[in-house]
Structure 1
Amino acid sequence: MKTNALSADTLPTDTAELQKLLLAERTRREQAEAEMARLHAQSRIPMLNPNPILRLDALGKLLFANNSAEGLAQELRTSGPSRVRPQLVHAATQALRTGEVAHSEVVANGQYFLLYAVPLVEEQTALLYLTDVTAQRLAEQENREQREFYETILAHLPAVVTVLDPDQHYRYVNPYAEPDPARRQARIGLSFANHAHGLGLPEALVARRHRMFERAVRSREMVSWEERWPGPDGRINLYWLCFYQPIFGADGVLREVLCYGLDITIRRQAEARIRQSEAEIKAQQTFTNLVLDLNPNLIWVRDAQGRTVFENGEMKAQRRHIAELAGATSMEAAMNKDEIQVAVEADQKVLRTGQPLTTQMSMRLADGTLRWYQTVRCPLVLADGTTQVLGVSTDITALKQAQHAAEAAATARENFLANMSHEIRTPLNGVLGMTSLLAKTGLNEQQFNYAAIIQHSGRHLLNVVNDVLDMAKITSGKLELEQSAFNLCDSMGNAGQPLVLQAQEKGIRVVGTLLRDSCPHPWVLGDSYRLNQVLINLLSNAIKFTPVGGTITVGGYFVSETADTLTTEFRVTDTGIGIAPDKLDTIFQEFTQAYADTTRQFGGTGLGLSISRALVQQMGGRLMVHSELGKGSSFSFITTLPKASAEARAAALAPLAPVQSAAVRGARVLLVEDNAVNREVAQLLLEGHGVVVDEAASGTEALEQFELHRYDVVLMDIQMPGMNGLEATARIRAHTDPTKAGTPILALTANAFRADAEKYAAAGMNDTLPKPFDEAELLRKLASLMAGGSGPLLEKTTAAESASSPEPASTPSAPPAAPAPPVPRPAPAHIPLYNLALLHETAHGSVAFMNRILTSFHTNTPASVAELRTALAAADWPTAAAVAHRLRPSLRLLGAARVAPHLETLESAGATDAERQTATEGFIEGLTALLEGLPERVMA
């Protein structure tokens, strides 16, 4: 406002004019005073504003601060360290530099402020307006923590949880539904139709989801249904229990739909197993409908003091139910104290270890009902660093009942098979034996034909029983696979060689492709015997169904490899009768063959391919077939096996290090062996190294010797008449003298495979020594046991198999489907009757040692020949196999290679009766020739 001062020079001379001027001056003064009063009143507005107001110049100097900004003004006036001052000065200078209003958020003294910087460019100052939003930010933080809390629960919930927008697009997907974070994020904004298309799910699932979504929105209520998805392998279906829960806003508009999915595949499978009658089906359906009406999971959160901080609706309903049944005021009052203590200890373990914990607990309700719950507890770390326990309990009562029913059914089946095996095989042996004796009497042609029919039928029935038992062993999950190093090419080649000779004898041409042609280093870890069993079965079938003049092609082919695995394919192709297309799916079924007359024409039980397929699947592969009727068939399987390390190959190939005699000299051992030749060999070997040897021919005699003396090691044979080696070992381990009870025991056996080794270890034996006795191996194991080392029984067994078995790959103990009985072949003329090289090496040139062995063989073998003749007459093949097993070490020591094939057949569990009969006859003939040609003494 301008003020015009009156001077003497300007004063008017006229009195009226002067009065007029004075009045105007008074009016202006009054207006100025009013304006000043108004401005003064307005100046109090920013001072009394509850929000801070500051004015800073371009250099950040404080020019003005209202009363509410006094705390901030002090920050600006001080020169010490401050977190607020730089933010305020930066906001002011930034607004002056840009000439625009800027806003940001600052935190000062625990308060949150929304800051607006208004530039006054002409005056080079800036006004800072701060609004206190502390309450709003604290509320937002509380909401955020609450949201994180529920999202943490959803993240740990073992069920699929998703949220759909009104257009049925995903807004949220929990980790259980999609564990991969990138894929989970990629699903946001997509529809279920997009997701189903990516998984290859049927369109019917998409259409049904759409209908259920519309029904939930239309009814404004939760809807539930069950879905069936095809499994990853195309065979096993996956079952899902699904829920749609629509969520509407206060204005009645649909905001989102909560989707919940529970995997009930295991429950469906359990229901299928225990479903026995219509009444049970109806009861199970009623139970299922009840489960569908409620969330089957009990979800809760407890703090470190055991206080419940969260429960879902089902948990609350369960709590009320348990309390009402017991007439108690709370669930805890109705529970057993031991049950509560178990739950408390489980919570404390999770809090102490920080690791998830899965437990199963039963609860007896007041009405006598026993409920089983499986609970998954996880540590739940909150934003403030405290840890609570998140628990998800699932009612598994039905699953437990199904498990018990399945276990009872499996036990009943095993008992039934064992009883039927005994009840069928025992009279069959009598029938076959008596029929064999009857055939040797004076029968006319018709009577002889009748006897032959009885024998053929009985042997066929016995083969059926054997195959059924083998298949039962596979389907019951009791088949275990070896994991040892072997050369895949050599192993499969050795396995197929005997069948190649059989095919050539039938007049079939065999063409082969060796694996080493495409894979120069086929060393792997696995079960060579089971792989050989599959190949032998495929070759046997090819020979069986290929006519004379046909061709069989056998090949091993390299497929691929990685740094750790080798993938190979083995294929057997024939020019036989072939299989019709509509029969290809049935040939792998148990007791099923392609044609009804196959058994009559070619024999077999229809289990060979089933067993082979099961073996290949257990090894992670697949058995495939391609065939054309009248033109032949091609069977192949691909397996991926771990590569054998250089150390494993070296261990399988390298000879064991020698053991000095000093390590065992002076030791006293008890040799328990029913075969006199084997006792003689072991005694001579050990005595040559200064070992004192006491002999026992049976388990009973061994126990008598054991009571009289103390031994450093016991060499225990397994198969002995009367008390066998396992029974004798159990008696020794139960001795009252702890020192004697702990005497090391070395198992002596010609069948040192893994299953046997596990049985021997369970009986208390320390290690296994395969027969015939290898001097270096015998001394090494004795030295190890005397030094206090029991040795890894199973690992040593694997080495023993490869070191001692003359043809491990070609002598499977349980070959699959039996081919037609082979025609007995005379021993090739170039194979000598005996070879004493190994005996000479074992005796270290000692003529006395060799003569004692030869004398013992001539003395004891005639009794074994007589025993074989008796077994042959009675068709007592177990006895013939036992004699072969007993003589095997002696025959190998003498180099009697001509009788080796007969030994393999007699000791093979899968050989037919016709094969055993032929082998027994050949074995008797070979032993007789050996006794006639083998010298009783050798000259120096």
Structure 2
Amino acid sequence: MTVARKASGGATPTPAGFERSSGVFGRLTRLAETLLAPAKAQITILIDGKPWRSHDPENTLGDKATLTEMAIAAGKPVWIADAREHPRFRDSVYVTGEKGLRMIVAAPIRLPDGAVPGALVVGAREPRKRDAELEARLMDIADLCADEWLRVQSQAAQERSQQESRAVRQVLGAIIDSAPLSLLMLDAELHIMGASRRWLESRDVTRRAAIGRKLTDIMPQAKAWQPTFDRCLAGEAIQSDRGEVEGPDGSTQWVRTELTPWRDADGEVAGIIVASHDITDMVEALEASERSEERLKLALEISEIHVWEMDYIRRELTKVGAEDTFFTEPLSYRDLLRDIWGGVDPRDLPAAQAMWERHLRDGTPYNPEYRTIRSDGKVVWAAGSARMITDENGRVVRLIGALQNITERKQAEQALVRAKEEAEAATRAKSAFLATMSHEIRTPLNGVLGMAQAMARDELAGPQRERLDVIRQSGEALLAILNDVLDLSKIEAGKLELEETEFDIGELARAAQATFAATAQAKGVKFELKVAPSARGLYLGDTVRVRQILYNLVSNALKFTDKGKVKVGVARRGGSLVLKVSDSGIGIAPEKLATLFQKFEQADASTTRRYGGTGLGLAICRELAGMMGGAITAESKLGAGAIFTVELPLKKLSDSQRPAPAPRSDSGAAPEGRALRVLAAEDNPMNQLVLKTLLAQIGVEPVIVGDGRAAVAAWAREPWDLILMDVQMPELDGPSATAEIRAREAAEGRPRTPIVALTANAMDHQVSEYRAAGMDDFVAKPIEAGRLFEAVLAAAEQSEAAQAAAAA
């Protein structure tokens, strides 16, 4: 419900404002009650359509703004002589109920502007006819209510104005304090009315101490500025580019100042606003520059900087510095006016001109670097800078520029580029060398270790067995060194990539125990393995690298332990897999622990002489653990063994363990009992012999060809269960031959023949290339017999599955 007419002017009072006035309204309602005693009265005012009542919070009269609305609508008193006979109120509980109201009068509260915001409502238990005199008295009380309404309204408007004024002052104060200038507000008598934080700090005075005081009390020298203040108070805005003032400590300060008159509400000048900017540093620098012009010229010449300025008004050129660095002959104003780009190398001119156009268009800083060509043919690299100065009408008046000789820097940059290219070439050469070394060392090692593995299955006498073990161990040691060097090279080059595969940690640990059991037994060292139940299960990680870390630590423990025991523990702590390898060996001195994981470091030089090794294994383990997000630590005392702990935050997939693999026969039998048909492409006669010898031990007699072209031809003539493909061969290399076979299989609809790469180049990126060419697997050289047999047997199973699928 709204009032009949909105009150003009002022602010609408809030209910809180009425509450503060409730005493007055209460007295007015009690006065109304005395006129009809016994009676009940209340004042109802509609605020935003909601009734506010005074004196009667329990709403004794039951007025839900109905009577008030009637009085507002009528604009005059509403007199109900007997509510029981009134059609609108006779059924009201306030009439028929306990309260039993009979006579009700609502006198409108009328404001001077005609607005009616509410009404004075009075009710009695006895019916009563309209009484003009009583009605007039009630209207008098309603008029008093209107007066109180106006007072409350005025008070609310005043409070709001004060709040807004405080807010404005706070905002202005914040703006003044955050301004990059010193601001001061003075009245006409030069009393300080306001000051910014910067001004107060510059005068070393607090705000409390400054406000209200005369400026001359804080700055006595301001007395000399009275004529300037008088001009400003007369209405003139005054600007001073450079003025000297005395600081509070007696020092000289230089300021750029603007004085602006401020006016009161009547438009009269009421004071001065002083805005000043401290330019002391600038002035001192300028004075120092003026005092040392010759030194500046010398410095510019030494720095090979040439500064120039074209004055288009005076038509003159001012220049200082190393002009002769860039130009054979001094240039004049006319020379630059005719061709300001003269001397710029044509190769760099378009870029320099384009940058200048951008500078003119949007103000982008002009700072090109280009070559200049002197008339004597000498080329000088220059870093340029220029700025166009215009007047208030946009007319160009000056052009300021500078050139700095950066020839040495450019030569250094070019040398750096060459050095980078040479370093990259060296890196490529290093990679090529490592690949070549890997191939050239693995190839003869293949013969040594391959034949040693073959002979190990023969019946040998004791001395022959010992000599064979020496050959095998020496070859394996050389292979381990080669692998360490290659791994370290990949780590340093950032090319070693981790893979994520599922693996059983218990299976991996048991494999380590089986691998080193013979070594431990030969040394008389007890070898224990304990896998905690909470650690058992399948994990996601790089199986090869986890195995490499564990095997390296176990190998070291056995190497440095001559008696006692080596213990491998597997546990789970938090979210990490924990591998712990402890031994009762020679131990490590505390001062050596800090460098133990550095490259080429061992406990001491005698360790290398006695036990061998390159000192790379632990460094590689640390790098691998770090790449997995984990760490490796060592604890030891000299003579008391050592404990190495590896923590790897690997995701555990499940608590279940893989079933032990079913034992597989070393037989090379193919499906249906026939001999496995194996084609071996190998160009090296020694490697051919190794293949024949090793495969013969599982009943496989391979067909040997000497190059990739012959391998493709042999495949085309007849089907094979497996192709062993050397990578580097004449005529056609292994990957190319494989790609051709795969293409022809697809074109001719032939079954896929398993192809296993035989390679001395077994770095990760190389293996990826082999798989991309279509090879299914690889066996690294030197060939490990078990790995070769595993590949052959896998091929046999794959061939059987393919034939079964074709038959179906």
Q: TM bucket by the smaller chain?
A: 0.3 to 0.5
What is the TM-score normalised by the length of structure 2? Answer: 0.40
The structure with the largest helix share of the pair is 1
What is the TM-score normalised by the length of structure 1? Answer: 0.35
